[in-house]
Amino acid sequence: MASVVLGIDIGGTNIEYGLITKEGENMYSSFMKTEEIESIQQLAENLKAEITPILKKEKLKLHGIGIGSPKGNYLTGCIEFAVNLPWKGVVEINSIFEEVFGVSTILTNDANAAAYGEKMYGVAQDMRNFMVITLGTGIGTGFFMNGQLQHGQHGNAGELGHISNDPLGRECNCGKLGCLERYASATGIALSAREKIEFYKGSSQLSKIAPSEITAKNITAAAKKGDPLALELFDDTSRILGNALANITTLLDLEAFVFAGGLANAKRILTEPTKRYMDENLMEDFKSKVQIVCSGLLSENSAIFGAAALYWNEKN
């Protein structure tokens, strides 16, 4: 009987989950809409009802549960004040899942889970000092130093999305102004497009889309076809992100940044200019020494691999 971990990625739009073996085989995966889940108790019970017959049919043993979530605190087992999720305040996770499933559960923030996934199954298997940056609705960060994931004193290390890009800039869901994720995430580039499209004088296929319907996905599709406005938007975003990564490099001396999440689907359209701007803002000691690469995991299930890897790493 094969052992599997239930890997769960809680996102602002979808909750993705899968049954993952230690070797990285995905035995089953699916998703549900976050807005349809009223409580963590309901989430746990719905998942148990769904996967229990699958475990029986496939002769699988549930070894444990790993969960990645925005503002998931590894030290407390709670989601704490996640601005992009429907459940507000401090929300118990570990204790509820352990009661419903009867197996050990580990929670961390979604970017830490992504970092575990890259370390165990992806491009960072041979790296000891690297940072995974998830570029989705917001920006999440998980990083390894000397081969160990860093949690920080209070379990909140890696909130790169909320460093200041412009102290008088766009309002962030966290309550601050000008946070990096309002400019350099999938949401951020869409906001930039909506601001620019009104005054853009050139020809762009983005002009054919209602401003409210412009997303990172259709900006990326346009950029891959050489659309000048889309490429300009990626250049602006890369400049902002590259400058932030130069500051992080100066502080931590990492060997690589790994991009994951929706905006990372742009691949070299994002990585190449970001690397150029990062190097322009670095001291000579660091120039050309730090890689920027995209996730080595399949985008459609990288998050659940990361959540499962979290459990396999911590319990083994």
DSSP of 35-72, one letter per residue?
GG---HHHHHHHHHHHHHHHHHHHTEEEEEEEEEETTE
Do residues 237 and 149 share a domain?
A: yes
Same domain, 154 and 35: no
Phi, psi of 76 (to 5 degrees): -105, -20
pLDDT at 111: 87
Same domain as 307, residue 289? no
Q: Looking at the structure, tell me whether residues 102 and 204 fall in a common domain.
A: no
Q: Are residues 210 and 262 in the same domain?
A: yes
Residues 166 and 99 in one domain: no
Contact 307, 7 (CB under 8 A): yes
Count up the domains in the chain and report the number.
2
Report CA torsion sign: 275, 280, 283, 285. positive
Beta strands in the chain (DSSP E): 2-10, 14-20, 26-33, 60-69, 72-73, 78-80, 90-92, 105-109, 130-135, 139-145, 148-149, 256-260, 291-294
- The CATH number that applies at residue 8 is 3.30.420.40
pLDDT in tens, 288-313: 899 999 998 866 567 788 899 889 88
Write the CB contacts of 270 (distance below 8 Å, at least 6 apart in sequence): 234, 237, 238, 241, 259, 263, 264
Of residues 21, 256, 16, the one with CA closest to residue 119: 256
Q: Which residues, 6 or more positions from 22, have their beta carbon under 8 angstroms from its beta carbon?
A: 3, 5, 312, 316
One domain for residues 187 and 102: no
Instruction: Specify burial of residue 125 (Cβ count, 10 A radius: 0-12, 13-18, 19+).
Output: exposed
d(CA 305, CA 120): 9
Mean pLDDT of the chain: 93
Pick from 316, 307, 315: nearest CA to 66: 307
Does residue 66 sit in the same domain as residue 114? yes
Q: How many C-beta neighbours within 10 Å does residue 169 have?
A: 15
What is the per-residue pLDDT for 316?
64
State pLDDT tens for residues 238-262.
999 999 999 999 999 999 999 998 8
Domain that residue 20 falls in: 2-118+300-315
At 258, list the tokens.
């790994």
Do 259 and 153 belong together in one domain? yes
Min mean pLDDT across 40-44, 50-54, 297-301 is at 297-301
Q: Give tens-digit pLDDT for 159-201.
A: 899 999 999 999 998 899 999 999 999 999 999 999 999 888 8
Record the pTM.
0.86
Residue 140 and residue 263 in one domain: yes
Percent of the chain with pLDDT over 70: 98
Task: Judge if 146 and 82 occupy the same domain.
Answer: no
* 150 in the same domain as 66: no
pLDDT score recorded for residue 12: 82
Expressed in angstroms, the distance from the first to the final Cα of the chain is 19
The pLDDT-based confidence of 143 (bands split at 50, 70, 90) is very high
